[in-house]
Amino acid sequence: MSKRMALDGQSLDRHVVRADSPFAKMLARADVRLDGDRPWDMRIRDPRAIDRILGYGNLGLGEAYMAGWVDIDRVDEFVVRVLRSGLSREVGRSPWLWWHALKARLFNCQTRDRCWEVGERHYDIGNDFYRDMLDPRMTYTCGFWGGGAETLAEAQEHKLDIICRKLDLKPGQRVLDIGCGWGSFMIYAAEHYGVECVGLTISKEQAALGRELAGDLPVEFRLMDYRDVDEPFDHVVSVGMFEHVGRHNYDEYMQVARRCLKPDGLFLLHTIGTNREGAPPDPWISKYIFPNGELPALQQVVDASEGRFVVEDMHNFGADYDRTLMAWYENFEQAWPLWRTSYGDTFGRMWKYYLQSCAGGFRARQIQLWQFVLSPSGTPGGYRRPV
């Protein structure tokens, strides 16, 4: 990836960056200073960054940061202030962004052919890289910091255990994991609850390492699109995969989960979500991190469930994702000197921006993390969330 980002026709005219400029005054409304000495202040290294940010919003800021045109020591704190001040709604008027939003509405960007792209571009970049960033179980989803968790490993074990308890897993049951990653849930559930698991992934690297990590446990990895599975399971779980499904496929996704779930089983859906229905996918995240991804709104999950499931429980612990992302960021920073030669500085700045900007989004409560428990026709006597 080039250190000079493609500018999509943006003017390269240079500007004089002044503390009393309109751009500086706009940032001041979010308590951000140009060339200030606070961690969330912005330093302009190349004046072209200003037009890029004003025209392309987060895409422009992310690319300017990757290219070294902008420096911000704590991107997470910068993002919190910008989102809470409402400044993000005043930038990003480029026609390209309108087309990006319209494309998500009109076209299915998560077809069977395109679903493999995120595996190749994101999850297959290197198992050892992810091993250095994640917890020992390689759990690449939000940890649960309730119950006194003090470390990333503890938070992830708490999350895995609460999923098992919400499903009321019993020895000998068979569980489908849609989007199993490296198998952290399946391995934990097999070890601690005596279940058998089948996991679906679109990442060759995840499947290969997952099989190695699972050893002789009754855990099966399948390199398979979720739309192709059709067999009965006692329970279905999907942790951090629904973000790759897209609005045009929510109904089919729920149909697949329903046809694979036995009548007395439970389906646990764990997904990041957005506060605003119809919001377009974030253009920077789509271009550089998760191609073809899209965050659902709460109503979209409920609408797709209608006629197929009863929503037994919904648990929001989105604030925990802030802490999880910052723990990943700390691990990344410690390991980065080992990976810098292999991946390059632009990749490093991209990854720092990804982890910190997402943490800021959760801290500002602009994005959420939901765990739904769904049943085919309602749990007799009512469902009770385990404590």
Q: Which two tokens stand for residue 155?
A: 């938070």
86's CB contacts (< 8 A; 6+ apart) are none
Strands 196-201 and 219-223: parallel
CA–centroid distance for 171 within its chain: 31
Q: Which two tokens stand for residue 367?
A: 């994005």
CA–centroid distance for 306 within its chain: 25
337's CB contacts (< 8 A; 6+ apart) are none
**274 in helix, strand or coil?**
strand
Instruction: State the angle between helix axes of 319-343 and 345-363 in degrees (0 to 180), rounded to the nearest 10.
Output: 180
The single residue of 115, 164, 197, 358 carrying the catalytic annotation is: 358
From its phi and psi, is residue 344 left (phi > 0), alpha (psi between -120 and 50) or beta? Answer: left
- Look up tokens 């982890």; give the residue: 355
H or E element that contains 6: none
Task: State yes or no: is 260 an active-site residue.
Answer: no
**324 in helix, strand or coil?**
helix
The Cα–Cα gap between 200 and 220 comes to 9
Enzyme catalytic residues? 358
